[in-house]
Structure 1
């Protein structure tokens, strides 16, 4: 009989999400500092929208949004985010490709011996992907603080930030569905303390790199 201890433990997934401006990227950086493999869905989406086949499909669905073989992101956002049906059409083009890339990265993490991966996915709940996670960590902050951060970071108007926030699962609902909630309204030191506590609760070693 083969000793079951000889088989590697199955990979576990920690879902990371949060409303716009909550500071999810800061938490992702802290998780990387613990040596965790963080798979960034937004980064993969950017790579996907540089692929010729994806660009062709986007241009066919949203004429005038690809110029000289390069995606005009502001033009696409103006069209897609103005209409939920159009946004769903864009997501149907991009999201399956992003998920395929994320799956390939996860397979590589397994090959590299990772026991956990962090799935950094802004639309984790909206896409129903929370059900495939072993635990979900939600980053949150008060609405006005989040709005101010995005206005400063992305030069959006207040109305644009609120419109994007309204298209996501409400922050209160995310907190309710989360296994861990990280409040990112104070100092980086306080943020680190909360992240450390969540990892300890999950049994993830506190190894910093």
Structure 2
């Protein structure tokens, strides 16, 4: 089975691009969506123990947790120590199920793929990118987003130009949906050709 690692900085259009792979019949494991589920389930008691007062009847209070970890690298590291192993376990379960189902190719949506060394877990890396102005406009249009929060998130992420230089493929979402979809089709065609040549 071919594992495609999909990544990109905040506001680059990764979620929309990921859906394009799903629309073409390739299962996708979304790390962010997994975290959302964990924040309502398995992660709740672990986070409450580490950050008292940041959870409630509905699970983790994201605003309360953010106020404790944003801008605090040591606290963020403690949170990641809780969350990353849980996400990895869910990812392995997804991969094992897809393999059992005979799926030829899956997509792993991993926001911090390079930053966490996750490229070692995938066969190819697709980076979703756009120009800086487009990225900023998209992110600051999100509910509850502030310039401070945006800059803090960006500071944790590898610069876009470095991600692009390390990518096997790039999807530029700054040119519209049709152009992005055409890039996805071309990438899938080339991945299949490459792996067929390798006998995989």
Alignment TM-score > 0.5, same fold: yes
1:201 matches 2:190: yes
Question: CA offset at residue 68 of structure 1?
Answer: 3.0
1:46 matches 2:33: no
User: Does the Cα contact within 8 Å between 1:23 and 1:184 map onto a contact in 2?
Assistant: yes
Question: CA offset at residue 49 of structure 1?
Answer: 1.9
1:14 matches 2:8: no
User: Does the Cα contact within 8 Å between 1:39 and 1:119 map onto a contact in 2?
Assistant: yes
Work out the CA distance in 1 between the residues paired with 2:192 and 2:130. 26
Number of residue pairs aligned between Structure 1 and Structure 2: 193
Deviations 1:36-85 (A, max 9, x none): 01111111111122225x21221121121112352100110121122111
- Unaligned residue ranges in structure 2 (runs of 5+): 194-200
Deviations 1:7-29 (A, max 9, x none): xxxx1200000000000001001
1:22 aligns to what SS in structure 2?
Answer: coil
> 2:52 corresponds to which residue?
63
Deviations 1:96-144 (A, max 9, x none): 0111011101111111110111000101111111112110000011122
Work out the CA distance in 2 between the residues paired with 1:137 and 1:154. 27
> 1:8 corresponds to which residue?
none
- Unaligned residue ranges in structure 1 (runs of 5+): 1-10, 205-209
Aligned counterpart in structure 2 of residue 30 of structure 1, from 5, 20, 23 = 20
Work out the CA distance in 2 between the residues paired with 1:81 and 1:75. 10
1:117 matches 2:106: yes
User: Greater Rg, structure 1 or structure 2?
Assistant: 1
Report the TM-score when normalising by structure 2: 0.92
> 1:6 corresponds to which residue?
none
Work out the CA distance in 2 between the residues paired with 1:69 and 1:145. 34
1:134 matches 2:123: yes
Please tell me the root mean square deviation across aligned C-alpha atoms, in Å: 1.3
Work out the CA distance in 2 between the residues paired with 1:135 and 1:82. 32
